[in-house]
Amino acid sequence: MKKMLNYLAIKINFNKIRLIIIVACVYQFFIYLDMLFGGYRFNFYDIIIEQFGYLNLFYFISFCFLLILYNLCNNNTFNEYVCVRLNSKYKVYNMNIVAILLMSIFSTIFFDVIAVLECIGRISFNNKWSEYFYSNMTGNLNLFFSEENTQLITTKLTPLNYVLFTNNLVTLYLLFIGALFFVINLCIRKRAISFIISIIILAINLFVGSSNSIIGKLSFTQNIFFITSSYQDFQSNNYILYKHLYWTILNLVIYLIGLALMRKYDYEFEELI
């Protein structure tokens, strides 16, 4: 584990992402202020749900996460050292996937910790659904969420359960987009172009996910939130399984694609632009 963290420290170069961390903290604080002056009572769990909401997750967090991983996709002399040391390009590939997984977990925990700090001494940690949740999840504020689903999910899950499951899904989602970026770069070997393609794929999912078609129901946007599940899934209690299964399959597929690409991949040890 220590070696893995050292690898992350060298590849990610945390000195270069200080600005991203500062921006993320400021952005998170503005979310808190917006809720504070919104006129509804809220608790700690509402902040977690809001910070991983549709706009925040797919527009802000996704972009920042890919920026943080940008250095992971370079191919400098350090990669040569790692490849020679491990004596296997497959081990290097697996190490990078594990690095993306760790960054996914760290990123999720990072936002959760900020939420905790914002709430200490000010906001309730009571494990109860608030009026903010009901107002935000029904009516015209969220067209994806029906009032029936909101009522069902509040009877089946506590806020703590909901937040824990949401954290799992967000971590799996970040792992996927990070692995997607990395695998695309295996093909193109140009980080800037790979980054742009990854953003385009996310944008397409945002566009497609706004529809109720079959393709829309298979998009990222409709499979990250429990509350977008069908009413039948809620009644049969399959909504948690289906969401986790969706992201597990996607991550497995992108991992296997990357593994297959490694057979034809030869490292060119130079800084890729």
Query: pLDDT (tens digit, 9 = 90+) per residue, 143-162?
Result: 455 677 778 888 888 999 99
Domains of the chain, residue spans: 1-263
- Residue pair 183/96 in contact by the 8 Å Cβ criterion: no
Structure tokens at 130: 């608030």
Short-list 261, 272, 266, CA closest to 76: 272
* Angstrom distance (rounded) from CA 247 to CA 222: 12
Rounded CA separation 188/249 (Å): 24
pLDDT value of position 270: 42
Structure tokens at 83: 């490849």
What are 149's two structure tokens?
A: 């689903």
- Radius of gyration in angstroms for the set of CA atoms belonging to the chain, rounded to a whole number: 20
What pLDDT score was predicted for residue 79? 61
Q: What is the mean pLDDT of the chain?
A: 84
Q: Which residue has the higher pLDDT, 1 or 267?
A: 1
Task: Please tell me the predicted confidence (pLDDT) of residue 177.
Answer: 97
pLDDT at residue 146 in the model: 65
Q: Distance between CA 78 and CA 162 in Å, rounded?
A: 41
Handedness of CA 260, 264, 266, 270 (dihedral sign): negative
Give the separation between CA 162 and CA 153, rounded to whole angstroms.
9
Closest Cα to residue 258, out of 178, 161, 167?
178
- The letter for the amino acid at 273 is I
Residue 183: partners with Cβ closer than 8 Å, 6 or more residues away: 254, 257, 258, 261
Can you give the pLDDT at residue 150?
A: 79
Three-state DSSP state, 140: coil
